[in-house]
Amino acid sequence: MTEQTLTPEEACKRISELTETINYHDYRYYVLDSPVISDAEYDALRRELKKLEEQFPQCVRPDSPNLRVGPPRPSGTGFPTVRHTVPMLSISDAWSDEEIRAWDQRVRKLLGLAQVEYDAEPKYDGLSCELRYENGLLVRGATRGDGHLGEDVTPNVRTIRSIPLRLRTDNPPPVVEIRGEVIMNRKDFEELNRQQAEAGQPLFANPRNAAAGSLRQLDPKVTASRRLHFYAWGLGATEGWDPKSQWNALHQFMEWGFKVDEHIRLCKDIDEALAYYREMTQVRRKLPFDIDGVVFKVNDLTLQRKLGNTAHAPRWAIAYKFSSEEVTTKVLDIIVQVGRTGVVTPVAILEPVQVGGVTVERATLHTAELVRKKDIRIGDRVIVRRAGEVIPEVVAPIVDLRTGQERIFHMPDRCPACGTKLIQDGAYWICPNASCPAQVQGRIVHLASRRAFDIQGLGEKAVAQLIEHGLVHDPADVFYLKEEDLVKLPGWGKKRAQNLIQAIESRKRISLTRFLYALSIRGVGYRVAELLAKHFGTLERLMQASEEEIAAVPGVGPAVAHNVYSFFHEERNRALIEKMRKAGVTVLPEEA
């Protein structure tokens, strides 16, 4: 019987059969890595399903493999915001056996137990993501974001073949949120960068950045073209399912069709957990993907709930990070760069060297005093590592290799960007000129960054061009940009200009936390901004607060309180905020 002679009822039945069959073979191929049919047979099934779905669209199932890749989002719209039902807190890091044993001691003391069983897992180096299933069907995928608010990337997670569109069970829970890591294998990362190079596109720094960038594409087709994987490692909200342990949950994930790495292990105590860590230091390079440590979790979920969380992280879990890889290279020069808050920092220009799979050419030296204490000189052979496997760091010079040609670094007395005389503030040297072009550029780039206003299209090069052509002189000018001015710039067409204006307009409503972070107040990172926002509730209350009231906020020290108070009592900063408001920027009370 051909598809032309099928009745609607017969077609719906066949479409359902094909959907389940193809999803099963996707599971065999992308999760188990154990296909049982040839590519030709698989392609024939896909072609048959596609023809039937086109002829009988009323029969298409929501978990159809042909619905994995949807249409692109309109340019400049960004991703909707999602509030996590259960916060996705980051896990505290440890770097030594002593720190791990101290954590184990705290856990046992809080629980009143002599011994605690731990679940041990690889710590994936990717992008954390939460998948929400309702009655077994995937309804939402969201990034971790700040732990409370993430981005809705549902169309993109649907393209990842190792993520089931429907849980592999006839009796799914009403609601389950499964957390895991979106990663890219090293060989796929290398192939992607090869394609980027051939196309004249910028290369990705590492597989983690490639995975994160791929998941945040406006066009799901681009995400689908990148070979991403999802490994499940945790739980969010659940209804109708109450696993007893982390170990049970991970094995249930496997039964439902998820990848869970084979190297997970149940450890009866902290000694077994530390033995696992040492094994994984040997295994890590044999894995197809990057891991940057291991994670230990109290296995019993009832005990996890009893331990609870601090303001920053769960008490029941800890990440034991791998020691940073160290290499040697040469310091070609030491320059200074001006940050967005005016801090002038020495930076080592290095002979390019591979550290942990990434080419390192620059490393911050933090302060002139640190350069003096470490006695790092221009021309030195030095030991370099990636601190936390992320930030390049110069550990020390190799004094025995000195030739006598090395030069001692001296901090300049004037700002390299504007010529203003530098002033010293403790260990730091500061350019006091708020109109310094380097500071202005840095503040605007920061204002547009993801955790601030999240304006796509305002990177360093674009901002530098806007400053060069006199279109912006301070961060508030971003909100006064006009399409007719942008199209006159070299390399700017009508579409690019429209996209930027739309992106700016769509981000004018902003939470107090993000707004405070966007202002580039010295010492106010995202966490401090969040503490201030939650304590004061509104921008007006914070601006009217005394320095003592600000310092009284838990987690905000006197130095930061002084910076915040001083910032809001400088006339130019108040004028900047008022200028933003007149352009339509609305700072929402933290409750909103």
H-helix or E-strand spanning residue 576? helix 571-582
Q: At what angle do helices 571-582 and 558-568 cross, to 10 degrees?
A: 60
Q: Which domains does the chain have, with CATH numbers?
A: 3-67 (1.10.287.610), 93-321 (3.30.470.30), 326-428 (2.40.50.140), 437-588 (1.10.150.20)
E strands, 116-174, are 118-124, 127-134, 137-143, 149-151
The 10s digit of each residue's pLDDT in 277-327 is: 999 998 988 899 989 899 999 999 999 999 998 877 899 999 998 876 778
CA angle 315, 318, 322 (to 5 degrees): 165
Alpha-carbon dihedral angle through residues 523, 527, 532, 533, given to the nearest 10 degrees: 130
Supply the pLDDT for residue 47: 86
**Which tokens go with 216?**
């945040």
Distant-in-sequence, close-in-space partners of 170: CB < 8 Å, separation ≥ 6: none
CA distance 559 to 428: 14
Supply the pLDDT for residue 74: 64
Distant-in-sequence, close-in-space partners of 207: CB < 8 Å, separation ≥ 6: 125, 126, 183, 184, 185, 186, 188, 189, 289, 290
Supply the pLDDT for residue 34: 75
CA distance 506 to 444: 17
**Which tokens go with 263?**
């190297």
Supply the pLDDT for residue 331: 95
**Which tokens go with 425?**
């503030």
- Cβ atoms of residues 122 and 261 within 8 Å: yes
Residues assigned a catalytic role: 123
H-helix or E-strand spanning residue 229? strand 228-239
H-helix or E-strand spanning residue 102? helix 97-111
- Nearest Cα to 325, choosing from 350, 355, 348? 355
516 exposure class (CB count in 10 Å sphere: 0-12, 13-18, 19+):
buried
Over residues 260-274, mean pLDDT: 95
- pLDDT tier, 390 (very low <50, low <70, confident <90, very high otherwise): low
- pLDDT tier, 75 (very low <50, low <70, confident <90, very high otherwise): low
Q: Residue for token digits 């209350």?
A: 541
Q: Residue for token digits 């807190």?
A: 89
User: Could you tell me what percent of the chain has a pLDDT over 70?
Assistant: 95
Asked if the model's pLDDT at residue 591 lies above 80, the reply is: no
- pLDDT tier, 149 (very low <50, low <70, confident <90, very high otherwise): confident
The string over 465-491, giving b where at least 16 C-beta atoms fall within 10 Å of a residue's C-beta and e elsewhere, is bbbeeebbebbbbbbebeeeebeebee
Distant-in-sequence, close-in-space partners of 291: CB < 8 Å, separation ≥ 6: 122, 123, 124, 125, 280, 284, 322
CA distance 451 to 300: 34
For 5, 74, 476, the CA distances from 459, given in Å and listed in that order, are 57, 20, 16
- Nearest Cα to 141, choosing from 193, 96, 178? 178
Q: Residue for token digits 């920027």?
A: 585
How many distinct helices (H) and strands (E) make up the chain? 21, 22
Q: Alpha-carbon torsion 41, 228, 251, 270, what sign?
A: positive
The 10s digit of each residue's pLDDT in 418-470 is: 999 999 887 889 898 877 889 899 999 999 998 899 998 888 889 999 998 99
CA distance 189 to 132: 28
Overall residue count recorded for the chain in this entry: 592
Distant-in-sequence, close-in-space partners of 410: CB < 8 Å, separation ≥ 6: none
Task: Identify any residues that bridge with 137 across adjacent strands, giving them in sequence order.
Answer: 134, 166
CA distance 502 to 489: 18
Supply the pLDDT for residue 48: 87
Which contacts of 480-484 are long-range, i.e. CB under 8 A and separated by 24 or more positions? Answer: 480/583
Over residues 407-428, mean pLDDT: 90
The 10s digit of each residue's pLDDT in 535-558 is: 999 999 999 999 999 998 887 878
More confident residue, 59 or 101: 101
- Cβ atoms of residues 144 and 126 within 8 Å: no
Asked if the model's pLDDT at residue 39 lies above 60, the reply is: yes
- pLDDT tier, 3 (very low <50, low <70, confident <90, very high otherwise): very low
Q: Residue for token digits 């957390």?
A: 179
**Which tokens go with 371?**
């350069």
pTM summary value: 0.59
The 10s digit of each residue's pLDDT in 161-201 is: 999 999 999 999 999 999 999 999 988 988 888 877 766 66
Asked if the model's pLDDT at residue 127 lies above 60, the reply is: yes
CA distance 212 to 577: 32
- pLDDT tier, 1 (very low <50, low <70, confident <90, very high otherwise): very low
Mean pLDDT, the chain, whole residue set: 89
- The amino acid sitting at 428 is Y
For 433, 518, 526, 585, 589, the CA distances from 218, given in Å and listed in that order, are 39, 24, 26, 25, 29
- Cβ atoms of residues 123 and 295 within 8 Å: yes
Supply the pLDDT for residue 592: 41
Asked if the model's pLDDT at residue 4 lies above 60, the reply is: no
Over residues 60-79, mean pLDDT: 74
Asked if the model's pLDDT at residue 415 lies above 50, the reply is: yes
Please tell me the number of Cα atoms within 13 Å of 168 on its side-chain side: 22
Supply the pLDDT for residue 199: 67
For the chain, report the end-to-end CA distance as a whole number of angstroms. Answer: 59
User: Could you tell me what percent of the chain has a pLDDT over 90?
Assistant: 55
CA angle 130, 132, 137 (to 5 degrees): 140
Q: State phi, psi for 441 to the nearest 5 degrees.
A: -60, -45
- pLDDT tier, 519 (very low <50, low <70, confident <90, very high otherwise): very high
The 10s digit of each residue's pLDDT in 238-259 is: 999 999 999 999 999 999 999 9
39 exposure class (CB count in 10 Å sphere: 0-12, 13-18, 19+):
exposed
**Which tokens go with 88?**
């996705």
Asked if the model's pLDDT at residue 106 lies above 90, the reply is: yes
- pLDDT tier, 157 (very low <50, low <70, confident <90, very high otherwise): very high
- Cβ atoms of residues 532 and 564 within 8 Å: yes
Among 151-165, 181-195, 203-217, 357-371, the range with the most confident prediction by mean pLDDT is 151-165
- Nearest Cα to 211, choosing from 184, 232, 181? 184
